[in-house]
Amino acid sequence: MRSESRELRLSEGGGSQLERKILDIVAASGEAGILQRDIWHLLNIDSRRGSRIVKRLERMGFLTREVVVHKGRRMYLLKPTPKLLLVPKLPSVLDEIPCFYCPHLLSCSGEASRVLNCEKLEKWLYGG
Ligand code: SF4
């Protein structure tokens, strides 16, 4: 049986925190959803970068994109899927800890030597 936390596999690198922020906003919007462009304003990101991330999250099954007409203009309305709403919400302070969103977390859990020699973790702990 897969654990729920393993369901949320986001991208590696700098994109994962932004993905998580977008998912938090979409999840909080509930059934009403949120206009995609409002997310760009909330997170102060450009639409090109944001659109790439949103399309990826849609392919992963976390949200839906629906074309709507708002004030005479066509735009996307984003809504959370049941898959997104089932993902447990972790405190945002954990976003800074590299292990929480690392694809190697499961393989590292039984290997102290990997953890002790991890550059990402060392950088987070000691800065640099
Ligand atoms: S120790 Fe390093 S490789 Fe292992 S889960 Fe944490 S960040 Fe990932």
Residues 122 and 99 in one domain: yes
Domain of 99 in residue numbering reads as 90-128
Q: Using the predicted structure, report yes or no on whether residue 32 has a pLDDT greater than 50.
A: yes
* CATH code for the domain in which residue 23 is found: 1.10.10.10
Name every residue whose Cβ is closer than 8 Å to that of residue 5 and which is 6 or more positions away in sequence: 87, 88
What pLDDT score was predicted for residue 15? 55
pLDDT tens figures, 51-63: 999 999 999 999 9
Relative to the CA of 98, which ligand 1 atom is closest?
A: 7
Ligand 1 pocket residue status of 104, Cβ below 6 Å: yes
Phi, psi for residue 22 in degrees, rounded to 5? -65, -45
> Which tops the pLDDT comparison, 10 or 3?
10
Tokens 């997310």 locate to: 39
The verdict on 118 and 72 lying in the same domain is: no
Same domain, 62 and 102: no
Residue 1 included in any domain: no
103-123, pLDDT tens digit by residue? Answer: 788 788 778 888 889 999 999
Predicted pLDDT at 128: 65
97 touches ligand 1 (CB under 6 Å): no
120 lines ligand 1 (CB under 6 A): yes
User: Is residue 122 domain-shared with residue 80, that is, in the same domain?
Assistant: no
Q: What is the pLDDT of residues 65-118, one digit of tens each?
A: 999 998 999 999 999 999 888 867 677 777 788 887 787 887 887 788 888 899
Examine residue 3 and state whether it is found in any structural domain, yes or no: no
Q: In whole angstroms, what is the distance from residue 30 CA to residue 33 CA?
A: 6
Span from the CA of 19 to the centroid of ligand 1 (angstroms): 19
Asked if residue 65 has its Cβ within 6 Å of ligand 1, the reply is no
Partnered with residue 76 across adjacent β-strands are 67
